[in-house]
Every structure is written in C-alpha cells, then in structure tokens.
Chains A and B, each alone.
Chain A
Amino acid sequence: DGGITQSPKYLFRKEGQNVTLSCEQNLNHDAMYWYRQDPGQGLRLIYYSQIVNDFQKGDIAEGYSVSREKKESFPLTVTSAQKNPTAFYLCASSIQGATEKLFFGSGTQLSVL
C-alpha cells in the first residue's frame, strides 16, 4: 500500500507520556488530516493542514498537537493532556482544499498501558 504511510501500526502510551504518530505521503497532496476513530463514533476531525506551515483545529483538538514543516509529513503528537487517548488514528490527504477525495493511511492503534 503506497501513497500515504502511517507508523507505527500499534503504539502504547504510559501515563503522563507524550507520543508522536507519523504520517508521510508521496502523492504530492497539499492537504493532510488527522481523524480519530472510536467504535460507534465514526471519524472525528482532530487537525487539518491545507498548506505547509499552516494548520487548523478540528472538532476534538484538545490534548493534541501537530506540525507541517514539509508537504510530505504531518505528525500528530498525543500529549499527556489527552486523558482518553485510546483510539484508532487515521491520517488522510487530498489534492487540494478539503472537499476532494480523501486517501487514508492504514492507521495507528494507540493504547494506554
């Protein structure tokens, strides 16, 4: 599965620890997104970036941070302020804006030890 790569596939976080989820794409897409998936809750938007060095909060940004220093990369940090981090995290990208077709990565399952 090329195009958009997330790593690691599984991640465990200890109490009070910050962890960073990686998302890299080689599709030359301008826009990138982070969604959180919980059972029965659908996909909820955490952060998105439409261009390098710029990003916006989504509906559930509290306890998370992002950076967009390169077009290809959009890492997500889950901070200790996020009290319920256990979830499946999906990164996505699109050609332009946000209303175009999203291509998703294969996801990272984050669990708390």
Chain B
Amino acid sequence: GENVEQHPSTLSVQEGDSAVIKCTYSDSASNYFPWYKQELGKRPQLIIDIRSNVGEKKDQRIAVTLNKTAKHFSLHITETQPEDSAVYFCALGAGTALIFGKGTTLSVSS
C-alpha cells in the first residue's frame, strides 16, 4: 500500500530555535496532508493540515509546506517552547483511510 517516510525520527532543539520535520510519499493521488501531535500518554491531535491545491499554510508558530512535484511536505515550528515537546506524525489522505508516518520525537530543552 501507500507509504510515507518521515524524518528525522528524533529531533532535539534549544528553546527558541526552529524545528523542521519532513515527509516524503510516492502516491500522486494523495490530496490531503495533516500533521498530528501526540503528547506523552495522550491521544494524537490534529495541529495543522493542507490540501493539494495549496502550497503553504500557517497557524501562529506552525506552518506546513507542500511540494507536490517533489512529493514531500514539511512541518515547521518556529520559536519552539518546552510544551512543543511531543511526538509528531505526518499522514496522507487519498480517499480511503489516513496512512501515518512513523513519527518524530521532538525534545525542546530550556
């Protein structure tokens, strides 16, 4: 089935730095690209999403960029804070069920 590669698997930054997580995919039919955040012991929650007709979307300190030609999309977090520490998952939607990446554990140290 469809596969999505997510990198890096772990990311450590200092408070105030930026963090970038990238996902690549192969199915050209994918048209929905959400990002979920899962804090320790909690359920995943949608933080931002983008559709294939848009190249970039921002929501305060987070942004997602999509390059359909190159088949990759990225999550950008600026001015990171300790509460941004969590596991982040990218996902693909193409008409059936979402397919998730393996996740990135982000650690923000103060």
The answer on A and B forming one complex is yes
**Known interface pairs A43-B44, A59-B1, A105-B43; A98-B93 also in contact (CB < 8 Å):** yes
* B32 part of interface (Cβ distance < 8 Å): yes
Contact of A45 with B103 in the complex, beta carbons under 8 Å: no
Among B1, B6, B44, which residue has its beta carbon within 8 angstroms of that of A90?
A: B44
Instruction: Name A42's contact: one of B1, B43, B49, B89 (CB within 8 Å).
Output: B89
Among A58, A100, A101, which residue has the most Cβ atoms of chain B within 10 A?
A: A101
A99-B98 contact in complex given A43-B44, A104-B45, C-beta closer than 8 Å? yes
Contacts of A45 in B (CB 8 A): 97-99
Give the contact-size bracket for chain B.
Answer: 20 to 34
Q: CB-CB contacts of B1-12 with A at 8 A, as 1s and 0s?
A: 100001001000
Per-residue 0/1 for A49-76: is the Cβ within 8 Å of any B Cβ (1 yes, 0 no)?
0000000101100000000000000000
A58 to chain B, nearest CB (A): 6
Question: Per DSSP, are chain B's interface residues mostly helix, strand or loop, or mixed?
Answer: loop
Known contacts being A40-B9, A90-B44, A99-B32, is A56 close to B96, with CB within 8 Å?
yes
Is A101 touching B103 in the complex (CB atoms < 8 A)? no
Q: How far is the CA of A58 from the CA of B9 in the complex (A)?
A: 24
A1 to B45, CA, bound (A): 13
Report whether A35 and B34 are in contact in the complex, using a CB–CB cutoff of 8 Å: no
Closest to A4 in B: B43
Count of A interface residues, CB-CB < 8 Å: 24
Question: Which residues of A5-24 have CB atoms within 8 Å of chain B's CB atoms?
Answer: none
For A43, the chain B residues whose CB sits under 8 A away are: 44, 89, 100
Binding site for A on B (CB under 8 A): 1, 6, 9, 31-32, 34, 36, 42-46, 49, 89, 93-103
Q: A1-B43, A41-B102, A59-B1 are in contact. List 7 more A-B contacts (CB 8 A).
A: A35-B100, A43-B100, A45-B97, A90-B43, A98-B97, A98-B98, A99-B95
What would 8 A/B residue contacts be, using CB atoms closer than 8 Å?
Answer: A35-B100, A40-B103, A44-B100, A45-B97, A59-B99, A97-B95, A99-B32, A99-B98
